[in-house]
């Protein structure tokens, strides 16, 4: 077992403790094993054979939200995410045998297949609109009722890649490919459409390659790396074959995972170099657009907004200034910074389902910070954050709108009639 946990990153930690108060679980519990430093100590003990990687060890590792705020705080540059992912790979998905079986199905059969994912989404849409939902809610036990309440409304149509390239509007400045994503394509298709329109208005030929799929981030974070590597290889082949200047991602968690494909496939002689090359092409949508520079005139949006730094954008990709710079370009928009904008909202992939008590504790703190800004909307460019904050607004208040950055830029550009994008991609 020790050989499997030969993790070079363990030697980086000097146990200074500067990470402690940046860790959401440590701030709530004030327990050393629920801090990055404590978890690193436990992983080291397993790697040295002093303790077994048992259920108790797994409880400590999986209580972590993988927000990576500790990496930002660490003066030694400890890559905690890699340490935790390696340990979780040994442990496998958390929970009871039934929960692990469900997770295994989701990670190996559902997420890798866009067809199956859309089928499940269609079933949920029927469930929500047929009247069955209100009846079922009354019959569910409290815990399942709370989980069911987190379900967002499933939209009328999905975003399906596979059309020809869409030409730039105005002078051509770049050729890019866009990740449609799994959750983004079935729940936030309109954000994908807005992203395409913003890119085109800024001089980009936009390619939506057919055959692309889920990035594998949820698999990686939950110890299921075998299928994650299959998914990564597929995306690498698909996107590198497009001949683009950049691969644009509008979901922070996906972007962080794709930028780190090189680490995921470091032992793959065939894909290691290609994965590194692919990772250099990946750009968050705000990172790319800000670097390219906005062109054209933006209309006024009279609104007070606050900004939530998605963990895997701020801490995973170190992208903070670019989204704020783009918001500042929108006339009439007033950005009011919240306290702890880069603190996790408690979503963390499926964490709000596997650890609901801790997730809700963290969410309540976040909603309080949002309320203090008295903003009309919160901007959160990541699907997990958007779902979590929307649920928080409904359950705890304040009743703010939850928007993606690309939504606001698209609105400011006054993009009228998205018929071309709809006909090609959404159905």
200-241 per-position pLDDT tens digit: 999 999 999 999 999 999 999 998 999 999 999 999 999 999
Residue 379 CA to residue 56 CA, distance in Å, equals 37
Region 13-33 average pLDDT:
95
> What's residue 1's pLDDT?
37
Region 285-308 average pLDDT:
96
> What's residue 4's pLDDT?
58
SS3 426: strand
**Neighbouring-strand partners of residue 401:** 377
Q: What is the pLDDT of residues 103-159, one digit of tens each?
A: 888 888 899 999 999 999 999 999 999 988 888 888 888 878 888 888 889 999 999
Residues in the chain: 427
Question: Please, which pLDDT band fits residue 96 given cuts at 50, 70 and 90?
Answer: confident
| DSSP E strands, 223-272 | 246-249
**Does the pLDDT of residue 370 top 70, yes or no?**
yes
> What's residue 415's pLDDT?
44
> What's residue 417's pLDDT?
39
- H runs (alpha helix) in 106-188: 114-129, 132-139, 142-149, 183-187
Q: What is the pLDDT of residues 402-415, one digit of tens each?
A: 999 999 999 999 94
Q: What is the pLDDT of residues 156-188, one digit of tens each?
A: 999 988 767 899 999 999 999 999 999 999 999
Percent of the residues in the chain that have a pLDDT greater than 70, as a whole number: 95
Kind plus residue range of the DSSP H or E element containing 407? helix 405-413
**Neighbouring-strand partners of residue 178:** 248
HSE (side-chain half, CA atoms, 13 Å) at 130: 9
**Does the pLDDT of residue 425 top 70, yes or no?**
no
Question: Please, which pLDDT band fits residue 381 given cuts at 50, 70 and 90?
Answer: very high
What's the mean per-residue pLDDT of the chain?
92
Q: Do 185 and 114 form a contact (C-beta atoms < 8 A)?
A: yes
Task: Pick the range with the lowest mean pLDDT from 253-267, 393-407, 411-425.
Answer: 411-425
Task: Pick the range with the lowest mean pLDDT from 9-13, 41-45, 191-195, 367-371.
Answer: 9-13
Decide which of 228 and 4 is more confident.
228
Q: Do 367 and 396 form a contact (C-beta atoms < 8 A)?
A: yes
> What's residue 162's pLDDT?
74
Residue 258 CA to residue 236 CA, distance in Å, equals 9
| DSSP E strands, 253-318 | 282-284, 303-307
Does the N-terminal peptide bond of residue 85 adopt cis geometry, omega within 30 degrees of 0? Answer: no
Region 361-380 average pLDDT:
98
**Does the pLDDT of residue 426 top 60, yes or no?**
no
| DSSP E strands, 208-365 | 246-249, 282-284, 303-307, 333-335
**Does the pLDDT of residue 424 top 60, yes or no?**
no
Residue 137 CA to residue 145 CA, distance in Å, equals 6
Question: Please, which pLDDT band fits residue 101 given cuts at 50, 70 and 90?
Answer: confident
Decide which of 131 and 195 is more confident.
195
> What's residue 272's pLDDT?
97
> What's residue 93's pLDDT?
81
Which structure tokens are listed for 250? 């509008």
β-strands 401-403, 377-379 pairing: parallel
> What's residue 163's pLDDT?
63
The whole-model pTM stands at: 0.92
> What's residue 292's pLDDT?
97
Kind plus residue range of the DSSP H or E element containing 368? helix 356-373
Decide which of 12 and 321 is more confident.
321
Task: Pick the range with the lowest mean pLDDT from 79-83, 102-106, 279-283, 296-300.
Answer: 102-106
**Does the pLDDT of residue 3 top 50, yes or no?**
no
Task: Pick the range with the lowest mean pLDDT from 6-10, 245-249, 401-405.
Answer: 6-10
Residue 122 to residues 106, 157, 186, 374, 423, Cα–Cα distance (Å): 16, 9, 9, 36, 19
């Amino acid at each position: 077992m020790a050989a499997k946990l030969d993790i070079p990153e363990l030697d980086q930690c000097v146990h200074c403790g500067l990470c402690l108060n940046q860790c959401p679980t440590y701030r709530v519990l004030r327990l050393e094993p629920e801090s990055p430093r404590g978890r690193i100590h436990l992983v080291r003990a397993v790697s040295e054979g002093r303790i077994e990687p048992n259920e108790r060890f797994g409880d400590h590792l999986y209580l972590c939200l993988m927000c990576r705020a500790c990496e930002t705080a660490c003066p030694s540059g400890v890559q905690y995410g890699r340490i935790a992912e390696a340990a979780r790979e040994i442990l496998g998905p958390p929970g009871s045998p039934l929960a692990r079986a469900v997770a295994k199905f989701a990670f190996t059969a559902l997420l890798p297949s866009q067809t199956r994912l859309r089928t499940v989404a269609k079933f949920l849409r029927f469930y929500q609109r047929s009247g069955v939902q209100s009846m079922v809610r009354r019959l569910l036990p409290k815990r399942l009722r709370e989980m069911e309440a987190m379900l967002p409304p499933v939209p009328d149509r999905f975003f399906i890649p596979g059309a020809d390239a869409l030409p730039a509007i105005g002078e051509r400045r770049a050729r890019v490919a866009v990740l449609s994503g799994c959750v983004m394509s079935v729940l936030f298709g309109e954000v994908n459409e807005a992203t395409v329109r913003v890119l085109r208005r800024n001089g980009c030929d936009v390619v939506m390659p057919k055959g692309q799929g889920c990035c594998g981030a949820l698999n990686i974070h939950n110890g299921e790396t075998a299928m994650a590597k299959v998914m990564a290889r597929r995306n690498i082949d698909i996107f590198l074959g497009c001949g683009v200047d950049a691969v644009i991602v509008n979901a922070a968690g996906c972007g962080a995972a794709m930028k780190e494909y090189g680490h995921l496939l470091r032992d793959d002689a065939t894909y290691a170099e290609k994965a590194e090359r692919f990772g250099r092409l990946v750009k968050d949508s705000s990172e790319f657009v800000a670097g390219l520079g906005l062109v054209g005139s933006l209309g006024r949006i009279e609104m007070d907004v606050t900004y939530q730094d998605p963990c895997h954008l701020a801490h995973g990709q170190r992208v903070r200034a670019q989204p704020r710079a783009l918001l500042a370009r929108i006339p009439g928009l007033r950005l009011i910074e919240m306290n702890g904008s880069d603190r996790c909202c408690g979503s963390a992939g499926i964490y709000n389902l596997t650890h609901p008590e801790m997730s809700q504790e963290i969410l309540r703190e976040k909603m309080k910070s949002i309320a203090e800004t008295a903003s009309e909307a919160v901007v959160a460019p990541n699907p997990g954050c958007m779902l979590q904050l929307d649920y928080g607004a409904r359950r705890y208040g304040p009743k703010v709108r939850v928007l993606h950055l690309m939504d606001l830029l698209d609105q400011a550009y006054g993009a009228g009639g998205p018929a071309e994008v709809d006909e090609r991609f959404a159905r």
